[in-house]
Amino acid sequence: MFNMFTDTGNAKVAKLVETARDLAGVDGPDNATEQAWNWLLNELEALARDPAFEEATDTAVREAAYDRFI
């Protein structure tokens, strides 16, 4: 789904993406979308600090998150 190594990792990223989508709002202004995306990137970086989820900032994970976010 999000190219994480485990189902738990995919579930964590999915929750972050859904939260970011909620923050942006379905018809939110462009700056809300940009701010929500930046929030998501920061959260992926925070998740990657956990050795169990260090792949959270891999390009494949970020691209999959972006595809679902948009």
Mean pLDDT of 45-68: 98
Q: Domain range holding 20?
A: 7-69
Q: Please check whether residue 30 lies inside any domain of the structure.
A: yes
What local confidence, expressed as pLDDT, does residue 68 receive?
A: 96
Q: Please check whether residue 1 lies inside any domain of the structure.
A: no
Mean pLDDT of 61-67: 98
Q: What angle do CA 29, 34, 39 make, to 5 degrees?
A: 125
The domain total for the chain is: 1
Mean pLDDT of 32-49: 96
What local confidence, expressed as pLDDT, does residue 25 receive?
A: 85
Q: What tokens were used for 25?
A: 């709002």
Render pLDDT for 9-24 as a digit per residue (tens, 0 to 9).
Answer: 999 999 999 999 999 9
What sign does the dihedral 21-22-25-26 (CA atoms) show? positive
